[in-house]
Amino acid sequence: MITALKALHIVALIVWCAGLLALPLLLTKHDPLHSQTAYARLRELSQFAYTAVVTPAAVITIAAGTALIFMRGVFAPWMFAKLAAVGLLVVLHAWQSFVLIKMGETAGQDRPPPAGLMIALTIPVMAIVLVLVLARPTFSSACFPDWLTAPRDRQLPVDETPI
């Protein structure tokens, strides 16, 4: 079960990351000089790629990864750093959505950010995720502030202690 879930997670991650690299290139092809038909066709293609391929891959990646965390019991500092990097991938994903929607609403009057910029921001985050997963670095306690590593001697905000 874990092997199948891990395979699903990896395949979905590959599709998601490929989409995060391909969509900026596709968005730069939206040229206001195209005919209305060509612009609409390209708009439909980019919208379909985002909503039917890239976003479901992102959801599957995150859902399968979350399940793997709990099934394997991986609650190490490197995992939390990886989750922060995945959060940055989600932010980049949302930015691409914003650009896609904005371009559709302005009907060719708005230009997307340069594809090189979007890709240059995405590749390092993907590399960070990959390095954290493969290297599984150990973080010293000096990397974290005291309030995060020491007990605070306060009551929990719930009546019962979670088990």
In the chain, what are the domain boundaries?
2-136
Please compute Rg for the chain using Cα positions: 20
Q: In Å, how far from its chain's centre is CA 22?
A: 14
Dump the DSSP string for 63-131.
HHHHHHHHHHT---HHHHHHHHHHHHHHHHHHHHHHHHHHHHHTTTSS-PPPHHHHHHHHHHHHHHHHH
- Whole-model pTM: value is 0.84
User: Which tens digit of pLDDT belongs to each residue from 61-112?
Assistant: 999 999 999 999 888 889 999 999 999 999 999 999 999 888 877 766 677 8
Backbone phi, then psi, for 136, in 5-degree steps?
A: 45, 60
User: pLDDT (tens digit, 9 = 90+) per residue, 19-73?
Assistant: 999 999 998 887 766 777 877 788 889 999 999 999 999 999 999 999 999 999 8
